[in-house]
Amino acid sequence: MPTITPELISRFDVPGPRYTSYPTADRFVEAFGEEDYRHALAQRQLGTSLAAQPLSLYVHLPFCESLCYYCACNKIITKHHERAAPYLAYVERELDLHVKHLGGPGQSVSQLHFGGGTPTFLNDEELADLMAMLRKRFAFAPKGEYSIEIDPRTISAERLQVIRELGFNRLSFGVQDFDPEVQKAVHRVQPAEQVFELVAAARRIGFDSINADLIYGLPKQTPESFARTIAQMAELRPDRIALYAYAHLPARVKSQRHIKTADIPVANHKVAMLSHSIAAFEEVGYVYIGMDHFALPDDSLAVAKRQGRLHRNFQGYSTQPDCDLISLGISAIGKVGATYSQNAKDLLQYQDMLDHGHLPIVRGVALSHDDVLRRAVINALMCQGRVQFESVEAAHLIDFRATFASELARLRAMHDDGLVHLSANAIDVTPMGWFFVRGIAMVFDKYLQARESRAQYSKIL
């Protein structure tokens, strides 16, 4: 593999989207509201191709007992656990409105994810009540993927057993880093032994899949310290590993103002961390899925990668096809047909809209034909690392080279740098190109033509 030069690092050390959607969430507009969303649901009932697909559900549970400085999620910091029950009552009201506009209960669901916040802020009874309200209204597929995010500091082996009995078959542990100094710097101290014990318990209990999240680029990290964390993660050997680049946006995320910019690793150190992580995980048998995910060879994500049926959604890479996503709770983002929608981020606004009988949707976007086309190209780059011109032309009735003439011209420099290979009928991301795949995808993002619009994104490296 060619050398990643300092000049190349400097050129790509710029802000850019992660492309869990296209258009990205910052392109949602307030002109899109409840009526537009209801229209999308009505179109779904009329028999679009996605109407026959099972739904995906997401529930945002925002409460956390303590503040992690790096976290950019929409969260409510409180030790008052009694706040959970009223919140769930509003989620149920929102759920009933969705079901009404979906045409009634009984829709099939193949994927469920509880995120936050800290979902296990809820007690066992509250988790059971939430699952019961969902099962009452939807038909859960026997072989679906039902996952919940776990903060190791808030859980016990006994609670993991309860979670399994509620029907969850996948866990995602928030590890971030095993180094004690890094943990102190981000205000999230959790001994490695605690994580190892919980993962061992989860395996005994019989969860189908265990994921662990890591973040590189955190304050106080060095290539050497992160290599130790990678070695510990390889020893832990979860089924999947998500390796995210820290997004430092203190102007937008107040909690990140606790982090000193001088403590954040520089770009070439972050590249070294990612490069070592990929090599180390592949050495012990993991498949590099792309950008920020690894999986063991027999995991469904690795199988989907080999078979060319990988997808990308708001949780990252997924095996699920392009199904509609119904999302509940504050700030939750949903997808129905060729639309995206987002709920109110503020709890009081969320509650007020539901009090008045409205879905709490405050913004969104209806995709144009060009948006759908560019989303397909970006997803192909991010998921398969390959764009075949003929398949895009057949699906979207275009001439690829004519439609994307300027983009292909811009990719020529990346071809010369060894990041992509341009042929007569395809674009292929090279092994080195995966380090910069966000930057490659940005070439096809029409909303980024104005450079000043990039400031709100995290850096690519």
pLDDT-derived band at 379 (thresholds 50, 70, 90) equals: very high
Q: How many CB atoms lie within 10 A of CB 429?
A: 24
Mean pLDDT of 285-311: 92
Inter-residue contact 237 to 203 (CB < 8 Å)? no
Report the share of the chain in percent with pLDDT over 70. 95
pLDDT of residue 207: 98
Among 63-67, 74-78, 293-297, 435-439, name the one with the lowest average pLDDT: 435-439
Q: Which residue has the higher pLDDT, 129 or 455?
A: 129
**Spatial separation of the C-alpha atoms in residues 440 and 455, rounded to whole Å:** 18
pLDDT of residue 124: 97
pLDDT of residue 392: 98
Domain ranges for the chain: 1-22+369-461, 24-328
**Spatial separation of the C-alpha atoms in residues 66 and 219, rounded to whole Å:** 18
pLDDT of residue 451: 53
DSSP 363: E
pLDDT, mean over the chain = 93
Within 226-270, strands assigned E span: 240-245
Could you tell me which of 213, 207, 385, 208 has the C-alpha nearest to residue 298? 208
Question: 3-class SS at 151?
Answer: coil
Which pair of structure tokens corresponds to residue 415?
A: 């071809």
pLDDT-derived band at 50 (thresholds 50, 70, 90) equals: low
Q: How many CB atoms lie within 10 A of CB 397?
A: 9
Inter-residue contact 134 to 95 (CB < 8 Å)? yes
Residue 456 in this model has a pLDDT that exceeds 90: no
pLDDT-derived band at 461 (thresholds 50, 70, 90) equals: low
pLDDT digits (tens, 9 = 90+) for 223-240: 999 999 999 999 999 999
Inter-residue contact 145 to 195 (CB < 8 Å)? no
Residue 450 in this model has a pLDDT that exceeds 60: no
Report the share of the chain in percent with pLDDT over 90. 83
pTM: 0.93
Residue list, annotated binding site: 58, 64, 68, 70-72, 116-118, 149, 176, 188, 213, 247, 333
Residue list, annotated binding site for [4Fe-4S] cluster: 64, 68, 71
**Spatial separation of the C-alpha atoms in residues 170 and 461, rounded to whole Å:** 29
Which pair of structure tokens corresponds to residue 148?
A: 């919940």
Mean pLDDT of 48-67: 86
Cis peptide, bond prior to residue 23, ω within 30 of zero: yes
Mean pLDDT of 325-332: 98
pLDDT-derived band at 291 (thresholds 50, 70, 90) equals: confident
pLDDT-derived band at 365 (thresholds 50, 70, 90) equals: very high
Mean pLDDT of 242-255: 92
Residues 6+ apart with CB under 8 A from 51: 44, 45
pLDDT of residue 372: 96
Q: Which residue has the tokens 């639309």?
A: 339
**Spatial separation of the C-alpha atoms in residues 31 and 368, rounded to whole Å:** 15
**Spatial separation of the C-alpha atoms in residues 274 and 292, rounded to whole Å:** 9
pLDDT-derived band at 308 (thresholds 50, 70, 90) equals: confident
pLDDT of residue 333: 97
Mean pLDDT of 274-290: 94
Cα dihedral 115→188→178→236 (10° resolution)? -30
| Order of all β-strands in the sheet with 386-388 | 386-388, 426-429, 420-422
Residue 454 in this model has a pLDDT that exceeds 60: no
Residue list, annotated binding site for S-adenosyl-L-methionine: 58, 70-72, 116-118, 149, 176, 188, 213, 247, 333
pLDDT-derived band at 48 (thresholds 50, 70, 90) equals: low
Inter-residue contact 327 to 333 (CB < 8 Å)? yes
CA 77 remoteness from chain centre: 22
Residue 401, amino acid: R
Fold of 24-328: pyruvate-formate lyase- activating enzyme (3.80.30)
DSSP 259: S
Residue 97 in this model has a pLDDT that exceeds 60: yes
DSSP 265: P
Among 82-86, 324-328, 433-437, name the one with the lowest average pLDDT: 433-437
pLDDT-derived band at 315 (thresholds 50, 70, 90) equals: confident
Cα angle 9, 230, 378; round to 5? 45
pLDDT of residue 449: 74
Q: In CATH terms, is domain 1-22+369-461 a member of 1.10.10.920?
A: yes
Parallel, antiparallel or unpaired: strands 293-295 and 240-245: antiparallel
C-alpha dist (Å) from residue 75 to 78, 117, 122, 176, 308: 10, 5, 14, 18, 36
Mean pLDDT of 353-363: 98
pLDDT-derived band at 433 (thresholds 50, 70, 90) equals: very high
**Spatial separation of the C-alpha atoms in residues 18 and 30, rounded to whole Å:** 22
Residue 24 in this model has a pLDDT that exceeds 80: yes
Mean pLDDT of 418-434: 96
**Spatial separation of the C-alpha atoms in residues 415 and 364, rounded to whole Å:** 35
List, as one string, the DSSP characters of 19-69.
-SSSS-GGG-BTT--HHHHHHHHHHHHTT-GGGGSPEEEEEEE-EESS--T
